[in-house]
Structure 1
Amino acid sequence: MLRCRLTVPPPRPRPGVSRLNVVRRWSSLLHRQWMLPSPAAPIHSISLSKSSSYSSDLAPALGGPASTVEVSDFDAPSFYLIRDDLLHPLVNGNKARKLDALVPLLRRYSATDLVTCGGCQSAHAAAAAVCCAERGLRAHLLLRGEQPEVPTGYNLVSLMYGSVSYVERSAYARREEMLLKHAESVAGGEGDVLWVDDILKKNSSGLNLEESDSMPMDGRGDPLSECSSETSLRRVVIVNEGACSVVGLLGLIRLVKYLSQAHIFGRDQKIVLVLDSGTGTTAIGLALGIIYLGLPWRITAVMLADSRDQYKEREKCLISNFKSIYGLETVEPNEGIIHWVDRLHPRRFGKVLNGEIDLCRRIAQQTGVLLDPIYTLAAWEHAVLLADAEAENHAKVVMLHTGGTLGLFGLAQSLSPIGELWKLDIAKGWYTSKARLNFHFPDVICSDAQLEM
């Protein structure tokens, strides 16, 4: 279980804060340097026919209230798809959104190294390594489990861009201790080690490193670091698994503000945002954006890795930390915005059921959208169901594609045939075997009985 760190003490009593001051504080959060040059992403429309086939519209009509749409338009269930998977070849989906404010903060802090962790095929770890390498920082990645015989997918990207260490599962279970110990070894005796949210904690307003007018900039718009050489003291920043941190929420707030523009979805239209949730950070960031703008939107977050109570605990912890750091304790509560729901076909995290790979293949061929059976397929299935249910309420269903499609390569590796043991029947989407088939991605072992589910 990933636990949220309480990075700040209980807030001191504050004088009454007017709504205007709260709005100003919110607005100041978005006046900063960002990693992404724009919050925009392509938005497609997906329709489901009566024959259960899919079709896509690459340039759908956006904007305008739902009341202007004729009822006949809802005959074929449809939903919008935010193609965050197209943001960057390697850094895309919710990984890019969570790093959007985090990466510039590392540069303003003059960090030399980043330490983070994830599974063997962690998209977050790979994205962090790419972003650090592009900006002259060193990324140290602690990956759970054993080193694969043949690196593929995000594991290969991590090896190419970062310094990778494989950690036994027993040690990985104590994430904070593991990360801190490794960061201290990287920093050496005289270097500095800091958790990323503690950078914000250095100033109770969270704005001490947001101002960069007086800092010298390089050609990429990044502040010049005095600690970037190999001989300088190390400034090591720890980022939790999945960028589960306060600063990781800011890019999601930026996305919500972009989507709420009149020419996209507007501020008055009822919206149901659907996404898959690993750590839950993305859903929590979107919820904060909805609170900030006062939108009539809600979120359906498909739980993949933890229990509902654990997700709600993380939601409460992250939002509490966010409000405390940025002085927004008076912001309206977020109860009811996030609906944490189970997968339509519950299973242990990482398990792939019969027919799911074939379904991803069929969706890709019919729409050009590549999904993976571990994460994004879970959100897609809920979006299809909600598109039909919400049509009567004149609400638009919008799925956020969280990326991660390179994980298919890691999945293909774990499912690769060995001799004549088994084959994948693409036409039917099920597995046949002459011997017992066991595979895992990343940590789940499936038996013959499980494969028959």
Structure 2
Amino acid sequence: MKVQRLPNSKTKMAFAAIIMKKAFHSASGQLSNSPQGICNVRMSGEELLSRLLDRKWALTSPDSKIHQIKLFTTTEKHGGGPLGGISFLNNTCPFLGDDMIMRDEDRCFYVVRDDLLHPLVNGNKARKMDALLPLLEDHIVTDLVTCGGCQSAHATAVAVSCAERGLKSHLLLRGEQPQILTGYNLISTIYGKVTYVPRTHYAHRIEMLKSYANLVAGNNGDVVWCNEIFEASLTAQKSRASCLGQMDAHKGIDNCRKKVLIVNEGAGDAVALLGVFRLLQYLSQDHLLGRKRAIKFVVDAGTGTTAVGLGLGAICLGCVPLFNTLLVKLSRGF
């Protein structure tokens, strides 16, 4: 791993901003295309975020435990390397909010324990699926197609989440099947249908996903992209109750045919940002991290969706943090 800016972060930010403007437009019905209208979006960032987050969620609560890791210099060497003379203390009940500002301890950092959200679907994967999973139920999706590396945590999250809801997941994994299944690869195989794809074919992800989804759907099924159902949920003019009633009326027909949803690699879709927004809104409460001090977030990144979500959410909330993004580089075997 190395610290590096994501080359496509600006593209993702621009795309996400367009989606957010559409959300604001559909919610208020008053946004114009004039410069004055765009300015109103910028000034109403917190209101926009509140409207976006007014929806059903997979996680019952956005809460996450926050631990404080304190660093101590010791005379004893605990192995080689630059951290050989440093000891760590995990404080599971740290002072937060105003107490954190008053103490202002330098030799420490905080860890948001999203790895405790679910035994198998954890970390930012649970956040990315937070807003997506209810949409699968609302749109009566039967099958989900996605892709990733051989040890893809995203593929595992999709497989487990779909299995818990009685849906079928189809996972296109890059490379060859390993002789011994381990880690995320093993879990993906247990909970989903895994297909190994040659790297030359996998390089053309969009065509690969579309082609496989059409095979799953068959002649009578439908194929939709993740961003299509997300935008549909933003631009729908009818009330939720009306929409749900309409879906119930058509369930008999829709259950006879497959509806296949395509989710991009790493859940790199706009809807995945909402779960990250929700997390940041929770963390920005006064009794937790608040908004009164600069917070430097260190985020490991593959597609960069989590980093973009944190950045956009911070802008909307009026607390722009500093970011160090760790771009994960995996060996050829994965």
Q: 1:189 aligns with which of 219, 238, 241?
A: 219
**In the alignment, which residue of structure 1 is the partner of 2:153?**
123
Residue type of the partner of 1:139? S
Partner of 2:326: 302
Q: For 2:188 and 2:138, how far apart are their aligned partners in 1?
A: 24
Q: Which amino acid aligns with 1:170?
A: T
Q: Is the 8 A contact 2:171 2:195 kept in 1?
A: yes
| d(CA) in 2 for partners of 1:228, 1:238 | 23
- List alignment gaps of at least 5 residues for structure 1: 218-222, 305-348, 352-439, 443-453
Q: Is the 8 A contact 2:296 2:324 kept in 1?
A: yes
Instruction: Give the aligned partner of residue 33 of structure 2.
Output: 14
Tell me, yes or no, if structure 1 residue 88 matches structure 2 residue 118: yes
Amino acid at match of 1:350: L
Q: Aligned partners of 2:244 and 2:164: how far apart in 1?
A: 18
Confirm whether residue 35 of structure 1 aligns to residue 58 of structure 2.
Answer: yes
Say yes or no: does 1:287 pair with 2:306. no
| 108, 118, 129: which one aligns with 1:99 | 129
Superposed CA offset, 1:83-128 (max 9, x none): 1111100000010000100111111111111100001111100100
The one-letter code matched in structure 2 to 1:107 is: E
Does 1 or 2 have the higher relative contact order (CA < 8 Å, sep 6+)?
2
Instruction: Note if contact 1:112-1:235 (Cα within 8 Å) is conserved in structure 2.
Output: yes
1:126–1:27 CA distance, 2 compared to 1 (3 A): same
Whether the 8 Å contact between 2:45 and 2:315 is mirrored in structure 1 is no
Label 1:350 to 1:58 Cα distance change in 2 as closer, same or farther (>3 A). same
Q: How big is the shift at 1:54?
A: 1.3
Q: Which residue of 1 aligns with 2:330?
A: 350
> 1:14 is matched by which residue type in structure 2?
N
CA apart distance, 1:188: 0.8
1:354 — aligned with what?
none
Q: How many angstroms apart in 2 are the aligned matches of 1:210 and 1:126?
A: 35
Is 1:249 equivalent to 2:283 in the alignment?
Answer: no
- Give, in angstroms, the shift of residue 255 of structure 1: 0.4
Amino acid in the other structure paired with 2:276? L
Paired with 2:96 and 2:123, the residues of 1 have a C-alpha distance of 21
CA distance in 1, matches of 2:232, 2:243: 18
User: Which residue in the other structure is 2:109 paired with?
Assistant: 79
Q: Which one of 186, 190, 197 corresponds to residue 156 of structure 1?
A: 186
Counterpart residue identity of residue 59, structure 1? C
How far off is 1:207 after superposition?
Answer: 4.2
Which of 232, 237, 241 pairs up with 2:256?
232
Q: CA distance change for structure 1 residues 301 and 245 in 2, over 3 Å: closer, same or farther?
A: same
Structure 2 equivalent of residue 208 of structure 1? 236
1:133 matches 2:163: yes
TM-score, normalising length from structure 2? Answer: 0.81
Q: Determine the C-alpha separation between the residues in 1 that align with 2:141 and 2:249.
A: 8
1:25 aligns with 2:45: no
Gapped runs of 5+ residues in structure 2? 1-5, 23-30, 75-85
Matches within 5 A, 1:265-344: 265-304=289-328
Shift, 1:216, TM fit: 5.5
Which whole-Å CA distance do the structure 2 matches of 1:186 and 1:296 have between them? 43
**CA RMSD, 1 decimal:** 3.0
Identify if the C-alpha distance between structure 1 residues 253 and 62 changes in structure 2 by more than 3 Å, giving closer, same or farther. Answer: same
Per-residue CA distance 1:324-375 (angstroms, 9 max, x = gap): xxxxxxxxxxxxxxxxxxxxxxxxx224xxxxxxxxxxxxxxxxxxxxxxxx
Q: Which amino acid aligns with 1:266?
A: G
Asked if structure 2 preserves the Cα contact closer than 8 Å seen for 1:65 and 1:269, the reply is: no
Change (3 A) 1:102 1:67: closer
Contact 2:173/2:195 (8 A) holds in 1: yes
Q: 2-side partners of 1:228 and 1:202: how far apart?
A: 22
TM-score for both structures, normalised by structure 1: 0.60
Aligned residues: 299
Contact 1:114–1:239 under 8 Å retained in 2: yes
Task: Quote how far apart the aligned CAs of 1:26 are.
Answer: 2.4
Does the 8 A contact of 1:45 with 1:79 survive in 2? Answer: yes
Structure 1 residue identity aligned to 2:236: N
Shift of residue 190, structure 1, vs aligned partner: 2.0
Counterpart Cα distance in 1 of 2:276 and 2:101: 28
CA offsets per residue over residues 190-219 of structure 1, 9 Å max, x none? 21111100123347xx242995334669xx
| CA distance 1:210–1:287, change in 2 (3 Å) | farther
Q: Deviations over 1:155-206 (max 9, x none)?
A: 1111111111110111000000000000001111121111100123347xx2
Per the alignment, in what secondary structure is the counterpart of residue 89 of structure 1?
A: coil
Quickly say closer, same or farther: Cα 1:243–1:164, change in 2 above 3 A. Answer: same
Please report how far the alpha carbon of residue 226 of structure 1 lies from its aligned counterpart in structure 2 after TM superposition: 5.5
Contact 1:45 1:78 in 2 (8 A): yes
**Larger helix percent:** 2
